[in-house]
Chains A and B, each alone.
Chain A
Amino acid sequence: MSAVIEIRNLSKIYRDFWGRPKVKALNSLSLDVQEGEIFGLLGPNGSGKTTTLKCLLGLLFPTSGTATILGKPSHDVEKNERIGYLPEESYLYKFLTGDETLDFYGRLFKMSSAELKKRKEELLDLVKIKHARHRQLKEYSKGMTRRIGLAQALINDPDLILLDEPTSGLDPIANSQMKDLIIDLKKQGKTVVMCSHLLADVQDVCDRIAILHQGDLKVLGNVQDLLQTKGESQLRTSELSEEALKEVQQVLAKHGVDLKETSHPKTTLEDLFLRTVTESEQRPGRRFAPGELPAGGGDGN
């Protein structure tokens, strides 16, 4: 695998009107992002995640250091042919409809009209916004805006996708779909870099992460390696009876090992929520949109 992003000693100092240093947002950051991986940039607010992304995209100028994307310097607009970017807030043109939004961004790339039309349909399907394609974005909910934002980021079928807080503002279902989509993108061989402070999301999808704090790189590595608790083991079995549990304890004691905890494993709240809503969708209740009544006019229960 080759590095699609190379950051070397990247520093960014925000200055005031008189050029005096105000905030040191990034401090000599160095890291690589490899082709085909999902890379997470973590950190609390103000840690330098978004600044890093903006330096990579040429929206901000580094005070020192270099950043190359796909082998090109960050200020080179040609690199953008192969990049997709979803900003933290969906900074889109609110007066355009969903359809016009994709059309506009698509026309900024070297795509034929037929190709653009096809891609637009695919993306509207993918982000499930086809029903609202002719509504202006100012009428969209936050989740819909995020989804159309993602669609514009993918309009050029990019090799590298930069996502700034991709799950921000999404409900759990959309959140889950977004994560599935990110994993799908990886399966298609694309590289994804995502910034987030929602740790569970990052844990679910990222291969490698970097944790930033106050502009400094604190941790960099493989998620599984970093989360592994050294010096402890975990067994997972089907339901154990009291006797069986005692015997296990005895066996463990014989080998000089302490049994620290026995409990029933818990599902996550996200899983519970998704399961409930999915089941509800399969057996719809009384709420139907006009024209969507099931055949026979019954309530479907």
Chain B
Amino acid sequence: MSFLEILLHLVYQWAIVVGGASVAFLLVGTVISLLQNGSTAPGVLGATLTRGVLDLLFMSPRRIAAIARLTFVESYRRQVFAVGVVFLAVIMFGGWFFGDAKSDSIAPYVSTVVTPMWFVLVPMALLVSCWGIPADVKERSIHTVVTKPVKRSEIVVGRMFGYGAIMTVIVVVVSVVNYLWLIGQIPASLKDQMVARVPVYGQLTFLDRQGLESQTGINVGDPWMYRSYIEGQTQSRAIWRFHHLDVESLKKLESLPLEHRFEAFRTVKGDVELETRFQITLENPESKLRVTLPTMYPVREFVASGSERVIEIPHEVKYRDSYESNAQEKTANIFDDLIDSSNPELGATMFVEISCVEPNQFIGVNPADLFIRMGDKSFTGNYVKAMFGIWLFVILLVILGTTSSCFVKGPVATILCVGLIILGYHLTAHLESQRELAAAQAVHSASGPLEALYKLLTKSPELPNNFGTRVMGIIDSGAVSSLNVAQLAVPDLTQFSTEATDERLGLDISRGFDIPATHMIYRFIIVLSYFIPMVILGYFSLVLRELEHK
């Protein structure tokens, strides 16, 4: 899917969630209004909604700025900046952890400064944003504000901006200090790792020992399923299919740089003392031209530096099209002969095939283990992007915290947000695994809770086809849809992680991968998509409650 398609899909999901939530709130509001106002309920509800729309559309930037400034000064005078001391302590003594045992990777250095940022900034964002409005209500200082011509929407937005500003200052200061520390502490020998590699990943498929196509490689018994294996001197292959290649950008490079990070799995059936090597074959999927490079490359699994694991393939490669000793040596141009552009849907495509050279030895591969390394970008720029990502996350927490604090007290708002963070990190993955488990185990599945209950009570695997069961089906479908919408309402916080995962190596700046601009836009959209509904929710929470401490 293209970025635009993903964007449209996200907007569609957003509209469903916000629309669903609005309908739910409207229904609840109607019921409450009917109970409170009787026959005048529609009028009261209509007036409230009209007022809400006007209050949300016509806010005064001046008043918002005044409230934001107040919030900033409040946090400043309450010495929120003292948190800087925590970072200073971490940074001052961070070098102690390294001592003389210098790492061969910059990852520990980067983690030393990035990881504490999460531990300090997240609780801080919650404490700052979840407690402000409740404290205002408790101390009744809000009375002197709402008795001025201030709309509740301006209070919510002003508070969000104020907390956002204070967190922005903190993130900026901490980021700069951390960066200076990194520059000073990372040894000169590791400076070459301070880059932002731009990888182009391919899709990985396999050939098994008999040369038959397979989605997975050989299982060597490693419980970590991250890598799949190919065996040496068999027909076993790992094949990367690179699509949508930017040929013009590639042509500007002196060679085609392929970076690998394979893992060798050695068996005593082979020679464990020997270095395990692999060979590369390039293939044009259209013309079926296959070019096997003569060089055999060692699996350098213990080399930390990515630059030392780059294979530079020249634009012109020499090959022989048969194994006969007298076969004529030919020359192929990578761009003209080995890239296929005949399929517009796949764009410029090239296949790269890896085989293991040593018999009875295995090479473990993951889709991210081989990529075309485009021109490197600067570490500083990537660091800024990572910090921007952390800032966006903090801002998202500020938005959620401020909104929660509009309808519950500080401690409850904090717990609510912590719950959302936990859900945001684990809900989607958890539900997916539960669904897979249920699908795998279910003998008689049910479309929803009512059908499941019916089948449980009647011990019947099938539903009779009558009016009652059709109604049941409609209710079940509504219930499941509502749950799906509710699931979408929880922010997907895994998108903000700076820790590398199996699927998201690129988001960990310590690995030296460039954070894609599209990903930053995606994060920004997530924050924006929560900002608007949260302001609406916060506004109605303040409008519909008495601002009197009880």
Contact = CB atoms under 8 A, between A and B. Distances in A.
B548 A96 contact: no
B7 to A, nearest CB: 37
Contacts of B145: 108
A219 to B, nearest CB: 27
Nearest to A86: B144
Interface in B138-188: 139-151
Interface in B58-84: 62-63, 65-66, 69-70, 73-74, 77-78
Contacts of A59: 143, 146-147, 546-548
A104 B66 contact: yes
A85 B146 CA distance: 10
Interface in A136-195: 136, 149, 152, 156
A136 B73 CA distance: 12
B425 to A, nearest CB: 33
B428 to A, nearest CB: 35
A91 B147 contact: no
B316 to A, nearest CB: 70
Contacts of B63: 107-108
A105 B151 contact: no
B147 A80 contact: yes
Contact of B149 (A78, A89, A96, A149): A78
B149 A108 contact: yes
A226 B416 CA distance: 57
Nearest to A73: B47
Contacts of B78: 95
B147 to A, nearest CB: 4
A77 B73 contact: no
A107 B66 contact: yes
Contacts of A77: 146, 149-151
Contacts of A92: 141, 144
Given A61-B546, A107-B66, A108-B66, A95 B147 contact: no
Interface string B114-143: 000000000000000000000000011111
Pick the most buried of A60, A81, A93, A108: most chain B CB atoms within 10 A of its CB.
A108
Contact of B147 (A61, A83, A89, A104): A83
A211 interface: no
Nearest to A80: B149
B548 A60 contact: yes
B74 A95 contact: yes
Pick the most buried of B140, B143, B150: most chain A CB atoms within 10 A of its CB.
B143
Contacts of B147: 57-59, 80, 83, 85
Given A91-B140, A91-B141, A109 B548 contact: no
Interface in A204-242: none
Nearest to A108: B148
Contacts of B146: 57-59, 77
B196 to A, nearest CB: 43
Contact of B70 (A61, A87, A96, A152): A96
Contacts of B150: 77, 80, 108
A85 B78 CA distance: 27
Given A107-B63, A107-B66, A81 B546 contact: no
B139 A91 contact: yes
Nearest to A87: B143
A32 interface: no
Interface string B272-301: 000000000000000000000000000000
Contacts of B141: 91-93
Pick the most buried of B62, B66, B74, B147: most chain A CB atoms within 10 A of its CB.
B147
Contacts of B70: 93, 96, 104
Given A60-B548, A95-B78, A104-B70, A109 B149 contact: yes
Interface in B212-265: none
A128 interface: no
A80 B63 CA distance: 14
B73 A89 contact: no
Given A92-B141, A104-B66, 20 more contacts: A57-B143, A57-B146, A58-B146, A59-B546, A77-B149, A85-B143, A85-B144, A87-B143, A91-B141, A92-B144, A93-B141, A95-B74, A95-B78, A107-B63, A107-B65, A108-B145, A108-B150, A109-B149, A149-B144, A156-B148
* Leading 5 A-B pairs by shortest Cβ distance: A107-B66, A91-B140, A95-B77, A108-B148, A85-B147
19 contacts: A57-B143, A59-B548, A60-B548, A77-B150, A87-B140, A89-B140, A91-B140, A91-B141, A91-B142, A92-B141, A93-B74, A93-B141, A95-B78, A96-B70, A96-B73, A100-B73, A104-B69, A107-B65, A108-B149
